[in-house]
Structure 1
Amino acid sequence: MSNQMRLLGEKILREKDMIAEKLHKDRMSDVEMTEIERMQADKMEAQIIHIRAEFIGLFGEALLNHENKDKMMEKIEKWCKETGEYFFKLGIPLDEALKDAGFYRKHIWKSLEESMMELEMPASEVFKVIYLIDPLLDHSIHCFSMSYVKYHQVTLENAKQAFLELSVPVVPLSKGVGILPLIGNIDTERARLLMEETLKQSANLKLSHLILDISGVMIVDTMVADQLFKVIEALALIGVKTIITGIRPEVAQTIVSLGIKLNGIQVKANVYQAFEELHG
């Protein structure tokens, strides 16, 4: 390692907190905020400056250990993973968070430029620094973006799963009798969950009869009908008899035109009629 590279690394590590504070002040002056958002940002300022200083310090380490670039890549990936999650949880949009990259590049290079001029570094050494720092900065942008998007996708999947689970509510009406009101379209994923949740909830509620109300299902095609029949057959295997209610006229026409047979399946006009028959 050249002595000049070592001196640059030591300076970055020594001044990382000061650089982070300057960067943060510069960054905040570029952000438009409401008074409430500004107050919230002030509360988190120390934590964010600490996070920034940690990141800047990684480039000081990179200059001290420039021959072990892979290890520095791993450290930067770790920082990006943790920070991507942190910024996502703060609710900061990705495009806004990525604006930080330009400020890191500006302030890190400003500090390095001052030192390189003081040391009168030859062009060959300057290019070594450029070839080390810029790829690490570029890599950090990529890793941060991937981390942020990952947590965003996980959150969306969790929200979707929670929504799907709420969309399969088996409601007990009386002892041994429950109702499952289906609303909206039934795609492949919801059909899978429909099978799992209906069987589980029916068993937990110890049902003998389940009223399957499809008055809120807009489209019944062969796939939907096939999935509903599979649920009915599976329920029969655990001792639950199913009654279908709420077939709307246009859905009835579709069922007939598609040649879908409802043989062996009990059908009633509405929930009241089904409930009355069960308790008649």
Structure 2
Amino acid sequence: MKTKALHDFLREHADSMTAEWLHSRTYEPNSVYSSDTPDHMTKELKEQNKLFIMTLVNLLEDPLNDRLSSWAQEIATERALSETPLYRTIHQFTRFRFIFWEYVEKYISIHKDGITSADILYWSKSIHSAFDHAIELFTRYYYQVSDARIEAQKTIIYKLTTPIIPISDEIGILPIVGDIDTHRAQLISETAIKKAEELKLNYIVVDISGVLLIDTMVAGQLFKMIQMLKLLGIDVTITGIRPEIAQTATQLGIDFGNLATFGQLKHALRYLFRDQSN
């Protein structure tokens, strides 16, 4: 009964707790939590915090009624998409935890004659555990959204930085520059095949002079791309194979024997244009 009475007290004071939290804000440039945020944003923060209180108290009342996950996912998604630094939201959790516990202390002060130290210890453990649970969930979802955004941005960058450059109606160049992981190698393959078909190319020169290292997975993906281009009737030439990459390819069991290879791009182009003129 004492615990239920505490929960009812906390629900009844949700508005007051939220108001204190909003009032305690300070000026933070370009932050959703700044004291100078527009009224509509302050209203949104108010509703989000009140929902947090109700969800938190429901969890304290019934551990099986855990709806913190959906709340944390929604807020984490908003904060990640708005690029709010994680530390700022964690700081707000810390500030509000202090306010929340102050209201628990107010309840204890009002009903001190009927409350034991065991009650206080139990409330302390359960409340702090619930806050920790909320922070953990928020952090997990925040990183999921952030990672997804980073991967999406990487995909766009990779597509922009690995174009096929047509230099004639029949010949295109695919320059590959920088580090290549398996994900990027797959994107290069998909983009190259699609673009080669669109341009109706007969020859593609894959220039890897700007690639530093090639591991087994990346090499396999690139050579799979080459085979698919050949199946489409496109002749593939490779240029820029440095000695260390050639040595690595040999160690990996990759056979360059069936491919036209040149040390420099200009040599490959000279060969292809001469071949076309004959």
Q: Give TM-score, length-normalised by structure 2.
A: 0.80
The letter for the 2-side match of 1:242 is V
- Residue 122 of structure 1 is matched in structure 2 by 115
Residues in 1 aligned to 2:203 and 2:162: alpha-carbon distance in whole angstroms? 16
Is 1:56 aligned with 2:40? Answer: no
Name the count of aligned residue pairs: 268
Cα deviation digits, residues 57-86 of structure 1 (max 9, x gap): 2244345xx2x2121xx2112211111112
Q: 1:163 to 1:278 in 2, by over 3 A?
A: farther
Q: Which moved more, 1:49-58 or 1:210-219?
A: 210-219
| Alignment equivalent of 2:199, drawn from 178, 196, 205 | 205
Query: RMSD across aligned C-alpha pairs, in angstroms?
Result: 3.2
Q: 1:6 to 1:149 in 2, by over 3 A?
A: same
Confirm or deny: 8 A CA contact 1:9 1:62 kept in the other structure: no
- Residue 15 of structure 2 is matched in structure 1 by 17
Q: How does 1:1-280 map to 2 (within 5 A)?
A: 2=1, 4-26=2-24, 28-29=25-26, 32-33=28-29, 38=34, 41-43=37-39, 44-62=41-59, 66=61, 68-71=62-65, 74-120=66-112, 121-123=114-116, 124-219=118-213, 228-245=222-239, 247=240, 251-252=242-243, 255=246, 262-267=256-261, 269-271=264-266, 272-274=269-271, 276-277=273-274, 279-280=276-277
Pairwise CA distance, 1:219: 4.5
Q: Give TM-score, length-normalised by structure 1.
A: 0.80
Confirm or deny: 8 A CA contact 2:80 2:145 kept in the other structure: yes
Residues in 1 aligned to 2:119 and 2:219: alpha-carbon distance in whole angstroms? 71
Confirm or deny: 8 A CA contact 1:105 1:137 kept in the other structure: yes
Confirm or deny: 8 A CA contact 1:183 1:215 kept in the other structure: yes
Query: Which segments of 5 or more consecutive residues in structure 2 lack a partner in the other structure?
Result: none
The letter for the 1-side match of 2:235 is K
Query: Which segments of 5 or more consecutive residues in structure 1 lack a partner in the other structure?
Result: none
Pairwise CA distance, 1:125: 3.5
Q: 1:228 to 1:9 in 2, by over 3 A?
A: closer
Residues in 1 aligned to 2:175 and 2:271: alpha-carbon distance in whole angstroms? 13
* Secondary structure, counterpart of 1:69 in structure 2: coil
Confirm or deny: 8 A CA contact 1:220 1:255 kept in the other structure: no
Pairwise CA distance, 1:224: 6.5
* Secondary structure, counterpart of 1:146 in structure 2: helix
* Secondary structure, counterpart of 1:234 in structure 2: helix
